[in-house]
Structure 1
């Protein structure tokens, strides 16, 4: 069993706690839970049977998969997907799968009162009671989260409008920060530098809005010789991305 991850994320004035852990070689599951004040709002389970060879797990691949799943869920919360989870929880209650609110301790996953068990061929799968049981074979169930796993591997930075930049212009620069095209990151730090060989650098700082977009009004220095460029940097959750665009002579 490898160490798990616990992350607190604030979105729209609420703190969400995301816990992701390896359930061990007997279960062969990566389990993520999303809590608010001790209540489980969502769960995500992923089998890693495919990483097993002769009873041993590829530990490096398991660590990578655990990290990826944790980032996926954190990114979904930052993108404002919580209401989707709440609606699913209410629907499960209406269907008789846990109508009342369940409370429990965050540490260690579910408490005894928060568990019901679905039997598979070789594992017992713990299922958060407010949500429908997952497939018996332990495969991933993610109807509440349709982001592809590859979309959260790296922080991505892009211009909303590609254009040529020229000396002496005043431009409005809009950039988007996200984990892939489907998951924007609000409150990401964005730094824009205008660098040149014939003038002093200028630096602008801002943060992205709730759509993961940062907009700045820039005045590009006038120059007729040498080289110049705009360097855009973004950072969030310990990840960093950058873009460079050339500035043409006037």
Structure 2
């Protein structure tokens, strides 16, 4: 079982929490959840029962977790969840989407490569 990733991000003046975790090979599911406050804004699941017996299971799961985590972040910053956010919070604040550095470092033990990729992505969004 691969550890999870947890990050807080600012988007449109609000703080969102993005969490990705692996349920382990018995359940064989990777779940990513995007929260605003205590409300789930988006969920993405990936089931991998066919991978259970593969010798590179851990590497595959970790790669999928990183990819899924980054994709939800990209989707957030391109406005894919704006309607859901507006429904939950009442309205999106006016102004352009601005990627800001994480409000809080990873809660779980940070994965250096993912941390670097997330930071690079956020920096690129400010240019």
Query: What TM-score range do you get, normalising by the shorter chain?
Result: 0.5 to 0.7
The structure whose Rg is larger is: 1
TM-score, normalized by length of structure 2?
A: 0.64
How many angstroms does 1:64 deviate by? 0.4
- In structure 1, the gaps of 5 or more residues are 91-100, 102-184, 189-234, 241-250
Pick the structure with more helix per residue: 2
Q: Which has the higher contact order (CA 8 A, sep 6+)?
A: 2
For 1:68, the equivalent position in structure 2 comes to: 67
Counterparts of 1:52 and 1:3, CA distance in 2: 17
Equivalent residues of 1:11, 1:80 under 8 A apart: no
Relative distance call for 1:16 and 1:187 in structure 2 (3 A) is closer
TM-score, normalized by length of structure 1?
A: 0.35
**Structure 1 runs, 4 residues or longer, greater than 3 Å off:** 84-87, 185-188
- In structure 2, the gaps of 5 or more residues are 89-96, 101-115, 122-127
Equivalent residues of 1:79, 1:186 under 8 A apart: no
How many angstroms does 1:70 deviate by? 0.3
Equivalent residues of 2:70, 2:118 under 8 A apart: no
Pick the structure with more strand per residue: 1
Relative distance call for 1:236 and 1:44 in structure 2 (3 A) is closer
| Count of residues paired in the alignment | 98
